[in-house]
Amino acid sequence: MAISIRLIQEYCNPFIFEHGEKLYLNHKVDQFNERTNDDLGLQYISATVNGEEGLSYETTGIYRESDDSIYDYSCTCEAYHSYAGFCKHCVALFMKYCVDEQKGTQRISLAPVRSAERVKSVLEKYALKDKIEYMQPTVTGLVAVEPILYRNGNDYHLEFKIGMDTKYVIKNIDAFVAAFDSKEPYAYGKKLSFIHDMTAFDEESANLVMLIRNIVAEDQAQSKQIFRTKHAREYAHGKELKLMPRTLEQFLSLMSEKSFRYMEDGRKERRILLLSQNPDVYVKVHPIEDDGIQVVIPLDRAVCGQKHLYVFHEDVIYKTNPSFTKDMKELYEWSEQDDQLVLDLYDENLKAFCANLLPVLKRHCVIDEEEVDLNQYAPVEAVCKVYIEMTEQKEIVCNLSAHYGEESYPMVDGFHIKEQYRDLKKEGAVLKITFDYFKKDDGSRNLVLKEGEDSLYLLLNEGIARLNQVAQVFVDEKIKRMQVRKTPRIQLGVMLKQRMLELNMLTSELPLSEIHLLLDAYRRRKRFYRMRNGDFMQLEESSLEVLAELADGFHIPEEEMQSGKILLPRYRALYLDAMLKEHANEMEVHRDNQYKAMIREMRAVEDADYEVPESLQKILRSYQKTGYRFLRSLEHYGFGGILADDMGLGKTLQMIALLLAAKEEDGKEPSLIVAPASLIYNWKEELEKFAPSLTVGMVAGTAQARKKIILNAKKFDVVITSYDLLKRDIEHYKKISFHYEIIDEAQAIKNHTTQSAKAVKQIDSAIRFAMTGTPIENRLNELWSLFDYLMPGLLYSYQQFRDEIETPLVVKRDEVAMKRLQKLIKPFILRRLKKDVLKELPEKVENVIYTQLEEKQLTVYDANVQLIKKRLREQTPEEFKNTKLQTLAELTRLRQICCDPHLVYENYHGGASKIGTCLELIENAMDAGHKVLVFSQFTSMLAILEENLSKKHIDYYKLVGGTKKEERMRMVNRFQEDEVPVFLISLKAGGTGLNLTSANIVIHFDPWWNLAAENQATDRVHRIGQKQTVTVYKIIAKDTIEENIIRLQKRKKLLADEIISEQGVSVSEMTKDDLESLLGGE
């Protein structure tokens, strides 16, 4: 069993329950605690409940599990003591326990506990609400309720009259309240009978009616039988409504700036006005015998509310402001006993009066002190003195004393009642600041400095100055000699020397031998550095950020930092310049002319003075000439780089211009081009077309033929090979030097552990370039592998890159790591998008076509999904980690089933919805005279499409991984020229290096994890030479893993957009949650 909401409702009336529920739903229950007494079978709960009035109440409860009952409860609010049953704070406490804490027992929905009767009541009220003003138009908004407040001693109660022109006494308040639920006319006399609804009352009366109903609802809770005690009394109202202090304050607050009828202690009734202002209080001070004075403070009767005093004076009630209330509340509490407070004061307490009470009276009262000079009794102004010294044991201690004329008092000893005249406010201010830095020393009046250098630094840097503002401070010479210095200003000189950068640091404020220690303190976010001579140095200046970034970003050894002379590889020049410009106002930098010239050239490659070969002047577009100059600028300074233009922008032609210029200018050593096997003949054709003067050696054919070409490499201007052949023939390259090494589709070396990546890095070349439209496909370490080929060390060692950049970026989205990576690589990557440089290129329109799986196909799909889900649910994290490859294979099966279950089950007898959709798109395109590319990851799916196209007598070409390179080129050329309308292409085999602009319709039959691979495939069509709008169709099976792959791509894109471009999903790094999301898991 467990606490239910229905049980809570039994302990209070509906009104109290609603208010308590509101407190819970508005998160007003704080510091909730629970504990169990197993011996007694009791559950103890407690919390602080923040009330609607801004006050907090401590609420407790005890629940007995044996009989599923509430054993006891309590609250510090007035309502708890005023009637039996729950107050609203108790309701909120038990709601918190019921709904939030009993998760293992039940999860409660609040709505179902509403009874059918209550639902019916709500509906009836709303039905009546729209009609009532038309049912009684002579009443609506006109009925007034007039209150009469009665006081008898310290008790208050209300009586009421009701009506319009004629007023009737409300003789039965309970009946008045009940009339609001009856929905029937209720009569008070011949001239007043109406249906009780809030719309019937005028605005002022409506607020009063709400107060009456609330008070009655709380009082009527006492009539319930199941309560805290067995002796709960029946509570019934006649014409009187008794007011407790809280409800009296609520009534008086409603009557602000209004007059109402009032009667006290049986006297004649009168009208009284409630004003929001402070009363005039006249205090009389006069001398009495024995050299004393008497102070007479008149005290009108007052109601002491929680926020205001309500002072009754003649025909006015004054509602006081918060300042008056705070200062005068204690005095007015005496008004219940007498109408004035008389204080006879003599020597021993005159000073206390003048120090403590007199300032309060002067703020709020008019004081008649003509017969007495109170100044003669005023205490001497306090002078606080603080002594800070260092003992022989090197301990820093503090002594405080308060001086009043000739008398002095140790401030740490506390306060004695005879010393009431002491200025505790002033002394307290000094103590408060002092205890920020010092603590008590047992057995001594001295305070001792808190442990740690931080306390000493704070005392020297700010504490002494703070104490000087409120006291006289005396510091001994040993402490005075300790200094807090500002952050040192460092000058930096930058020079270009041969192939290195030389940095020289200069500062007169800090020994360079300590600079590495200072930076270590800064990295640990310390506010200071303790120098070896004992002084403190502030670490809050931003110039240290430059120095720390310099040391960390370039991995400068401590010895170099201490020497003040730092040597860096030349490829750090642009990163250094970006860093220094970002902090130009924080460090003085002197750059030599060579360094400035290099930076200028690299920042404005468009204006670089490199002529394009004459034969290509009219062929290269403007942005391609910029790309050519970018490559030449990098070469000039010995840098490598990545030409990362969008697919279809002519990266090959830009590289050919570079190769041609190298031969025309000084006939340098041969250059090596490494490309996927499918592209090597494409390179040969492009070279023959645009640079026929270059001699080309094709490393292809038998091992012997390849060896011959390699060993005779110097006879050629350009040598072309594939990644696969390079790693086979790598031994033959060891004694050969190349000028350029250019790798095409460089994502082929994204995994630095592969033989292909290792092979290209073993080639001896002066300059290395990479070409790729997708520098990052899935992970940041792909970028590291590329730069490890181009300029080893630029992105540090792999371990350093992972620890300092990749992990902070991927796991924490670290902005500092992001900016650091951007500064490191930006100078060496040139990327332009088609939309930015090819304004004449037709637009690309992408469409997602959703299909529903056919009935049998859906049954097969669902069965496989449930099997995978079941296994995932039953796996431990370790089992999941060890079987991830199996899970990913199962995901591939799901994707194949979405395409056609025949790919998985040979005996499947049913349809495949995507095939029909694809054929329909192809036929529609053919009817409109368009040519179509169809991509799929699964070559077996292409075979099925091939069969369907043959049945429909539609001509096609098909390119897969097994297609020979020569045949591949022939098919591409024929498709560009003939009338064959369809080209079926394996995504991996034909996603790169092809120019198929004769087509303008692209169909992706199935989605691939990597969006960049899909885009590459699409760009076989959307590239230079395309004259028509390109339309891309992605066929997606609705409510399947395919749809979720699209969502996961968006949710899991790995920062590549922010660093360079494109994005993908790293399948092997998917979490269990990712996989369940793909499956449509909860």
Quick: pLDDT tens for 839-862: 777 888 888 888 889 999 999 999
- Position 615 scores a pLDDT of 94
3-state secondary structure at position 251 = helix
The one-letter amino acid code at 1057 reads D
Backbone φ and ψ for 1019, nearest 5 degrees, come out as: -75, 5
pLDDT band at 364 (very low <50, low <70, confident <90, very high): very high
The per-residue b/e assignment along 272-299, b for 16 or more CB within 10 angstroms, e otherwise, is: bebeeebbebebbbeeeeeeebebebbb
Nearest CA-CA partner of 827 in 651, 637, 652: 637
Top mean-pLDDT range of 229-243, 361-375, 555-569, 652-666 = 652-666
The lowest-confidence range among 79-83, 307-311, 896-900 is: 79-83
Are 591 and 452 contained in the same domain? Answer: no
Residue at which a domain ends, from 837, 869, 902: 837
Residues 721 and 826 grouped into a single domain: yes
The residue assigned the tokens 């990546």 is 757
Question: Does 1054 fall in a domain?
Answer: yes
Choose the weakest-confidence range: 12-16, 574-578, 625-629. 12-16
Residue 365 and residue 388 in one domain:
no
Tell me which amino acid residue 804 is. E
Contact predicate 1026/1006, CB 8 Å: no
How confident is the model over 25-82, as pLDDT tens digits? 888 898 888 888 776 677 888 999 987 666 788 898 888 776 677 877 888 887 776 5
Same structural domain, 647 and 785: yes
Is the pLDDT confidence value at 961 over 60?
A: yes
Averaged pLDDT for residues 159-186:
90
Shared-domain flag, residues 373 and 389: no
Calculate mean pLDDT across residues 149-158: 92
pLDDT of residue 156 exceeding 80, the answer is yes
Answer whether residue 608 is part of any domain: no
Give 1055's pLDDT tier (boundaries 50, 70, 90): very low
**Which pLDDT does position 230 carry in this prediction?**
39
Could you tell me which residue, 1 or 75, shows the higher pLDDT?
75
State the pLDDT at residue 109. Answer: 37
Chain mean pLDDT for the chain: 84
Check if the beta carbon of residue 96 is closer than 8 Å to that of residue 32: yes
Indicate whether 473 and 488 sit together in one domain.
Answer: no
Does 925 or 1010 have the greater pLDDT score?
Answer: 925
- At 575-610, the pLDDT tens digits run 888 888 887 777 888 999 998 888 888 887 777 788
What does the pLDDT average to over 172-184?
87
pLDDT at 226: 39
Residue 83 has pLDDT above 70, yes or no: no
The answer to the question of residue 227 being in a domain is: yes
Q: Are residues 77 and 90 in the same domain?
A: yes
Task: Domain of residue 724: give its range.
Answer: 613-837
* Average pLDDT over every residue of 365-389: 87
| Whether 475 and 488 share a structural domain | no
pTM attached to this predicted model = 0.53
The total number of structural domains in the chain stands at 7
pLDDT category, 898, cuts 50, 70, 90? very high
pLDDT at 143 over 80: yes
Is a pLDDT exceeding 90 seen at residue 108? no
- For the segment 523-550, the average pLDDT, to the nearest whole number, is 81
Nearest-Å Rg of the Cα atoms of the chain is 44
CATH number (domain holding residue 449): 3.30.70
> Which of residues 837, 854, 872 is at a domain's end?
837
* Contact in structure between 1006 and 938 (CB atoms under 8 Å): yes
User: Is the pLDDT assigned to residue 110 strictly greater than 60?
Assistant: no
The pLDDT of residue 111 is 38
Q: How confident is the model at residue 129 (pLDDT cuts 50, 70, 90)?
A: low
- Taking 90 as the threshold, does the pLDDT of residue 1075 lie above it? no
pLDDT at 632: 93
Judge whether 119 lies within some domain: no
Tokens of 843: 């637009």
Q: Per-residue pLDDT for 23 more than 50?
A: yes
Residue pointed to by tokens 């899970």: 887
Question: Which range among 5-14, 36-45, 48-57, 485-494 has the greatest average pLDDT?
Answer: 485-494
Compute the average pLDDT of residues 998-1011. Answer: 88
In this structure, the answer to whether residues 400 and 444 fall within a common structural domain is yes
What average pLDDT does this structure show over 21-27? 86
Residues facing 943 on adjacent strands = none
Residue 453 lies in a domain: yes
457-472 burial: b if 16+ Cβ within 10 Å, else e: bbbbeebbebbeebbe
Question: Which position has the higher pLDDT, 845 or 176?
Answer: 176
Note the helical H segments in 651-742: 651-666, 680-690, 703-711, 723-729
**210 in a structural domain:** yes
| Strands of 190-324, DSSP E | 192-195, 241-243, 259-264, 270-275, 282-288, 292-298, 302-304, 309-313, 316-319
Residue 953 domain flag: yes
For residues 702 and 741, membership in a common domain is answered with yes
Q: Phi/psi class of residue 638: alpha, beta or left (left: φ > 0; alpha: ψ in -120 to 50)?
A: left
Do 923 and 1016 fall into the same domain? yes
Does residue 123 surpass a pLDDT of 60? no
Identify whether 126 is part of a domain. no
Instruction: Evaluate if residue 678 carries a pLDDT over 90.
Output: no
Residues 6 or more apart whose CB falls under 8 angstroms from that of 46 comprise 32, 33, 34, 58, 59, 60, 61, 93
Q: Where are the alpha helices (DSSP H) in 763-844?
A: 781-790, 798-801, 807-812, 815-825, 834-837
Residues 856, 827 share a domain: no
Torsion of CA 244, 245, 250, 256, to 10 degrees: 130
Domain boundary pick from 837, 860, 878 = 837
Kindly state the helix (H) or strand (E) to which residue 919 belongs, with its residue range.
Answer: helix 913-927
Least confident span in 32-46, 92-106, 322-336: 92-106
